[in-house]
Chain A
Amino acid sequence: DAGVTQSPTHLIKTRGQQVTLRCSPKSGHDTVSWYQQALGQGPQFIFQYYEEEERQRGNFPDRFSGHQYPNYSSELNVNALLLGDSALYLCASSYRTGGSEQYFGPGTRLTVT
């Protein structure tokens, strides 16, 4: 059983560019959450998708947007990249019932130069 997968593993972009990160959830999971983890910090919640809709959102600007497909996979898009967007982006999947744990992917390391 494949766990949560993310692509790409690493990415280098220039300020002002746009980036798309991808996530495939663990088999049987229907909910995908995205987190940003800056160096030396804990993960910060960006947003969560369920039934192809954004259900909850953290304190991130509109430059951060997402999408969930019918097969539950998800994308995170970031527009107008800033140097401060450099971080490890983690995708987590879970089943929608409250309290079920989230399973994390290995992350995508984004570097903005």
Chain B
Amino acid sequence: AQSVTQLGSHVSVSEGALVLLRCNYSSSVPPYLFWYVQYPNQGLQLLLKYTSAATLVKGINGFEAEFKKSETSFHLTKPSAHMSDAAEYFCAVSSSGGYQKVTFGTGTKLQVIP
């Protein structure tokens, strides 16, 4: 079984401030982990993924995430928030083998305050 918990359904940051979105996972096998972003009335866009190659993963738009097995965490960060980062962010997990059933978290809505 696999699951993802996103802490904080809403996060507000000032423009230029650090963005930190939290994600903890549970998986009985080595996981693949993903962060997706969703803008209003749109589908999901992949920001970055972890597939066991490197624990610090860099993605698009300046985002990165660090896989910490001891903490079962995969938090998403960005050093400086931009107004265009306002969106909903989803953490997701899938098993490392076989067919890819992806389990999503409930999402964190990021607000960027000018």
Contact = CB atoms under 8 A, between A and B. Distances in A.
B100 A33 contact: yes
Interface string A27-49: 00001010100001111110010
A99 B43 contact: no
A43 B100 contact: no
Contact of B101 (A4, A45, A103, A105): A45
Nearest to A49: B99
A94 interface: yes
B43 A104 contact: yes
B43 A106 contact: yes
B99 A56 contact: yes
B3 to A, nearest CB: 11
B72 interface: no
Contacts of B43: 4, 90, 104-107
Interface residues of B, number: 25
Contacts, number: 67
Interface string B61-102: 000000000000000000000000000001000111111111
A102 B99 CA distance: 12
A101 B93 CA distance: 11
A45 B3 CA distance: 12
A48 B107 contact: no
Contacts of A45: 101-104
Nearest to A45: B101
Nearest to A105: B43
A43 B105 CA distance: 8
Contacts of A42: 90, 104-107
Interface string A70-113: 00000000000000000000101010101111111111000000
Interface of B: 32, 34, 36, 42-46, 49, 51, 90, 94-107
18 contacts: A35-B104, A42-B90, A42-B104, A43-B90, A45-B102, A48-B101, A55-B99, A94-B100, A99-B51, A99-B96, A99-B100, A100-B100, A101-B34, A101-B46, A104-B43, A105-B43, A106-B42, A107-B42
